Amino acid sequence: MEIRHLITFRTIVDVGSYTNAAIKLGYTQSTITSHIQALEKEIGGELFTYVKRELKLTSLGKELIPLADELLHSYNRISQMKSRNTVSGELKIAAPESLTISRLGPILKEYLLRYPDVKLILSNGTCGQNQKDLMSGHVDIAFMIWTSLELDHCHYHQLHKEEIVLITSPNKYQHFDDYKNKGTTDYFITNEKGCSYRSMFETHLVNHKLPKLQTMELWSLEAIKQAVMSSLGFAALPYITVKNEVENGLLKIMEHNEEFEPIYSYLLVKAKKWQSPAVEKFIELTLESI
């Protein structure tokens, strides 16, 4: 006995004939007949009979109606439960500001279009804080920009190689060697400690015994870019975050001969046997976007 046989039976009862049931269900009439024959064989008697060329239920058919309705009701509830759980609930994401403004916008938009029943909650923090929030269970997914990852209790996906550039005001013409050899009153303009690309750049300075620079800490990427445009100094940022300003002549990439350690964007989830459908679909969509 198959669910589709019961659906066919109940449809015939509703529409009054094999022909109309075939039209409604999109089957051939021979398929409708085979469904009923299979059901009758399983039950052990006829379900329909013709009286003066009009289709009528037998006593066995009448007895089957409430039982079929009960089973089909349970089947529909199970189907709806599966549908709800596939793309519903709450999804908490932590990401650095740089990825939020440069890469996540189209992904978040498409995700909400596909799965409107999911409530998205996005928080911004340093990469280290995002990882802590993931491991503590405060978020479901974390994004990071980091050189290389070797993490316990985490699954991660490498997304993009993020090119780090030194940017300056368009009216400045320094090579980075000018800072190294002559010193400068310009600031290294950056965000808070714990930022991965700030850490990478400062580690590079130390490892290559380069002069320590005056540092100006600002609270957002937009503030950093505005300060650089105002000729207060230079910044080390992922190219994707300044691409529009460089192409429009508002910022300029400073020439240099440094070889920075490669740095990548990552998506992380906590290692566990089961991920919610909302998490799985977000990972799937993010990897599609690469």
Q: What is the pLDDT of residues 40-78, one digit of tens each?
A: 999 999 999 999 889 999 999 999 999 998 898 788 767
Whole-number Cα distances in Å, 280 to 46, 178, 283, 287:
47, 49, 5, 11
Identify the band that residue 149 occupies on the pLDDT scale cut at 50, 70 and 90. Answer: confident
The structure's pTM equals 0.67
- Across 84-98, 102-116, 143-157, the highest mean pLDDT is recorded for 102-116
Cα–Cα distance for residue pair 156/135, rounded to 1 Å: 13
**Contact call for residues 37 and 109 (beta carbons, < 8 A):** no
85 or 203, greater pLDDT: 203
More confident residue, 104 or 151: 104
Mean pLDDT of all residues in 172-186 = 75
The share of the chain scoring above pLDDT 90, in percent, equals 60
Report the helix count and the strand count for the chain, using DSSP H and E. 12, 12
Angstrom distance (rounded) from CA 5 to CA 64: 12
* Residue whose token pair is 């997914």: 141
Give the pLDDT confidence of 70-102 residue by residue, as tens digits: 898 788 767 766 555 567 888 999 999 999 999
Q: Is residue 193 predicted with pLDDT exceeding 80? A: yes
Q: Is the pLDDT confidence value at 145 over 60?
A: yes
Task: State the Cα–Cα distance between residues 124 and 130, nearest whole angstrom.
Answer: 8
17: pLDDT strictly greater than 80: yes
Strands 154-161 and 233-238, by their bridges, are: unpaired
Residue pair 39/4 in contact by the 8 Å Cβ criterion: no
pLDDT in the model for residue 59: 94
Model confidence at 158, in pLDDT bands (50, 70, 90)?
A: very high
DSSP 261: P
d(CA 85, CA 76): 14
Q: How many alpha carbons fall within 13 Å on the CB side of residue 81?
A: 6
Please name the helix (run of DSSP H) or strand (run of DSSP E) that holds residue 91, with its range, or none: strand 89-95
Specify the range with the lowest mean pLDDT, choosing from 79-83, 86-90, 221-225, 252-256.
79-83
Q: At what angle do helices 105-114 and 277-289 cross, to 10 degrees?
A: 130
